[in-house]
Amino acid sequence: MSETILVTGGAGFIGFHTSKKLLELGKNIIIIDNFNDYYNVKLKEDRIAQLPKKDLKVYNEDIADFKAISRIIKKNPITKICHLAAQAGVRYSLKNPFIYERSNVLGTLNLLEAAKQSEIKDFVLASSSSVYGNNKKIPFSEEDNVDNPISFYAATKKSAELIAHTYSHLYNINCTALRFFTVYGPWGRPDMSYYKFTQAITEGKKIPVYNYGKMKRDFTFIEDAVPAIITALERPFKYEIFNIGNSKPIELNYFIEVLENTLGKTAEKELMEDQQGDVKQTFADISKAKKMLNYKPKTSISEGLKEFVEWYKKYKVNSNKYK
């Protein structure tokens, strides 16, 4: 019998792509997602509708509810947990910190405790490049000090890493934390800049360009990130952290230029100061992931944006046909 993997946040952007790949690899997949309305719930439902039903069970539950998730975990023969559910987004964490504490800190603890009780030995969790805050040393390495987060979101991600470390140490649960650097692509997140900009430029609306377009982000195409998640699930480590980025930071102004070229339309820009909580740049040192996870990002920003824009246009026209 093929193995059963629990994917939390499977209706989310990264969770959907990961579940799709795992199903293609012949795994049985259990998804837990609470389909919250932080962004368009229909997009989450449409993602799930893309997945083959065979070998898939989807539970609409909150990972902050220990009883609910431990019931699911006890009922199914789960051998690995891929924990991708979280309240994401840096800016919203300044407005509503409590939901971040609930989903990202309590939610992670609940899953690890349920894993311990059900003797599940392998646990992969999503962390974030935001834990590096405004660190001056670049590129960011897993060995750098990350004691100075500048958003509450980052603080909850660092907390999740620490909780995972204690469960690995105390109960021998293999834990791998993946620090994702701005993952983007088809079926992506409408709250992220690349999605918002595409929408605004297409509709002829102004785009807010924070920090006068001077900030830099290391963009990671979803199809480059997923193989790293799969390898992390296949190759358990006692406790390891990996940067999953592209190691090619891109200035926001250049990013907008590429998007304009892809869309064939000029953006109306509103230049603004930087926002609280936003880091000035992200830049991943990916040598550890290359060596230990055989990680090989290969998609350039223009190739990745092209794929995103193609999906975006198609989804906009067809989304009323889904479900």
Ligand X SMILES: NC(=O)c1ccc[n+]([C@@H]2O[C@H](COP(=O)([O-])OP(=O)(O)OC[C@H]3O[C@@H](n4cnc5c(N)ncnc54)[C@H](O)[C@@H]3O)[C@@H](O)[C@H]2O)c1
Among 168, 182, 243, 299, binds ligand X (CB under 6 A): 182
64 scored as a contact of ligand X (CB under 6 A): yes
Q: Which residue has the tokens 């019931």?
A: 71
Site string for ligand X, 269-298 (x = CB under 6 A): ------------------------------
Annotated active-site positions, please?
A: 153
Candidates 12, 139, 186, 249; binder of ligand X (CB under 6 A) is 12
34 contacts ligand X (rule: CB under 6 A): yes
Q: Is 225 helix (H, G, I), strand (E, B) or coil?
A: helix
Does position 189 bind ligand X by CB under 6 A?
A: yes
Beta carbon nearer to ligand X, 188 or 270: 188
CA terminus-to-terminus distance, the chain: 31
Which alpha helices (DSSP H) does 12-140 contain, by range?
A: 13-24, 41-50, 66-75, 92-95, 97-100, 107-117
Rounded (to 5) percent helix, strand, coil in the chain: 45, 20, 35
Q: 95 CB contacts (<8 Å, ≥6 apart)? A: none
Place of tokens 């799930």: 48
* DSSP structural state of residue 84: -
Single out the segment in contact with ligand X by CB under 6 A; choices: 21-29, 56-64, 227-235, 250-258: 56-64
Contact pick of 6, 63, 154, 201 for ligand X (by CB under 6 A): 63
Interface pick for ligand X out of 28, 103, 110, 281 (rule CB under 6 A) = 103
- Closest to ligand X by CB, 2 or 15: 15
We find the least distance from the C-beta atom of residue 264 to ligand X, in angstroms, to be: 26
How far is it, in rounded angstroms, from Cα 164 to Cα 111? 10
Which of 68, 72, 105, 107 lies at the binding interface for ligand X (CB under 6 A)?
107
Backbone angles phi, psi at 157, to 5 degrees: -70, -40
Contact 154, 160 (CB under 8 A): no
- 246 in contact with ligand X (CB under 6 A): no
Least distance (Å) from ligand X to the CB of residue 87? Answer: 5
Helix (H, G, I), strand (E, B) or coil at 125: strand
* 163: region left, alpha or beta (phi > 0 left; psi from -120 to 50 alpha): alpha
> In whole angstroms, how close is the CB of 316 to ligand X at the nearest point?
18
Whose Cβ is closer to ligand X: residue 244's or residue 256's?
Answer: 244
Residue pair 269/206 in contact by the 8 Å Cβ criterion: yes
Binding residue for ligand X, selected from 5, 6, 7, 13, defined by CB under 6 A: 13
User: β-strand 268-271 against 78-83: which pairing, if any?
Assistant: unpaired
Q: Which of residues 117-136 bind ligand X (CB under 6 A)?
A: 126, 128
14 is a site residue for ligand X (CB under 6 A): yes
Site size for ligand X, by CB under 6 A? Answer: 28
**Quick check: 35 binds ligand X (CB under 6 A)?**
yes
Distance (Å, whole) CA 200 – CA 175: 40
Q: Residues in the site for ligand X, rule: CB under 6 A? A: 9, 11-15, 32-36, 44, 62-64, 84-88, 103, 107, 126, 128, 180, 182-183, 189
